[in-house]
């Protein structure tokens, strides 16, 4: 059986209506390719042949560059903000840990001080019930066997003997303990005064201490705002005990 329509598409060979050179698909493809071909040929022909096309091409390139630059700047800014937030979080966490550690240390010190006060109060209560003779005996033992810590032994003896009332101090054992404590006090007081003398302060006439001047040194202008210089800070009159 013969072909009633021998007309074929010049591009793909498909049958087309009489008088047509291309089928519908090929015609559409050729219509899309034509502008691209013209743009390529225009770009290759140079600005002398079509300057408006070149200007449009450059404008498109400039717009694309601006878009890419904005995108890059936005990404950089976001990264910078993220880094700043991370740094701030790390710093806040460090501050939180430091404050927590400080609070824990302060709490530990308060608890230790409270325990020490309770212990001293208990010891004081026990010492208060000791009779004078027992106090004197313990004081003599502490002063005679100081274990290389004469100041600690002296303070222990003074804590035992000071509460004894005047009427009980005439007892022989109490007088012996008091005399031994007085003998141990003299070298301790001399050593304490010598150490105190190194940093002895300057007393102003209004009763305050000079914040910058010392007893040994120039006194010019030291107490100018405190009614003048009164003298050196008084030396200790007894051994300091905790």
- Sign of the CA dihedral 157, 162, 163, 169? positive
Task: Please report where in the chains the tokens 């008084």 appear, as a residue.
Answer: 234
The pTM assigned to this predicted structure is 0.48
Residue 15 predicted with pLDDT over 90: no
CA 228, CA 120: separation in Å to the nearest integer? 43
Residue 241 neighbours by CB under 8 Å, 6+ apart: 151, 154, 155, 158, 159
Which of the four pLDDT bands, split at 50, 70 and 90, describes residue 229? Answer: confident
Choose between 79 and 144: higher pLDDT: 144
Side by side, the strands of the sheet bearing 201-204 are 209-214, 201-204, 229-232
DSSP for 87-122? Answer: HHHHHHHHHHHHHHHHHHHHHHHHHHHHHHHHHHHH
pLDDT in tens, 85-125: 778 888 888 888 888 888 899 999 999 999 988 888 887 77
pLDDT (mean) for 79-89: 75
- What is the spatial distance between Cα 108 and Cα 126, in angstroms, rounded to a whole number? 27
- Report residue 64 as tokens: 């694309």
């Amino acid at each position: 059986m013969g072909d009633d329509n021998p007309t074929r598409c010049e591009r793909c060979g498909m049958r087309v209506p009489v008088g047509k050179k291309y089928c519908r698909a090929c015609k559409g493809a050729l219509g899309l390719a034509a502008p691209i071909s013209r743009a390529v040929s225009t770009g290759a022909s140079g600005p002398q042949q079509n300057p408006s096309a070149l200007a449009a091409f450059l404008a498109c390139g400039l717009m694309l560059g601006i878009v890419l630059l904005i995108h890059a700047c936005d990404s950089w800014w976001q990264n910078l903000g993220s880094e700043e937030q991370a740094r701030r979080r790390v710093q806040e966490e460090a501050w939180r840990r430091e404050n927590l550690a400080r609070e824990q240390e302060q709490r530990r010190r308060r608890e230790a001080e409270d325990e020490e006060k309770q212990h001293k109060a208990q010891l004081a209560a026990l010492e208060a019930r000791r009779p004078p003779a027992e106090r004197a005996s313990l004081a003599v033992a502490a002063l005679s066997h100081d274990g290389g810590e004469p100041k600690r032994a002296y303070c222990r003896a003074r804590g035992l003997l000071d509460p004894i009332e005047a009427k009980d101090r005439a007892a022989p054992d109490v007088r012996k303990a008091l005399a031994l404590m007085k003998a141990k006090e003299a070298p301790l007081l001399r050593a304490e005064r010598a150490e105190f003398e190194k940093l002895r302060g300057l007393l102003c006439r209004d009763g305050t201490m000079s914040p910058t001047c010392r007893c040994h040194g120039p006194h010019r202008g030291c107490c100018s705002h405190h009614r003048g210089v009164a003298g050196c800070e008084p030396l200790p009159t007894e051994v300091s005990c905790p």
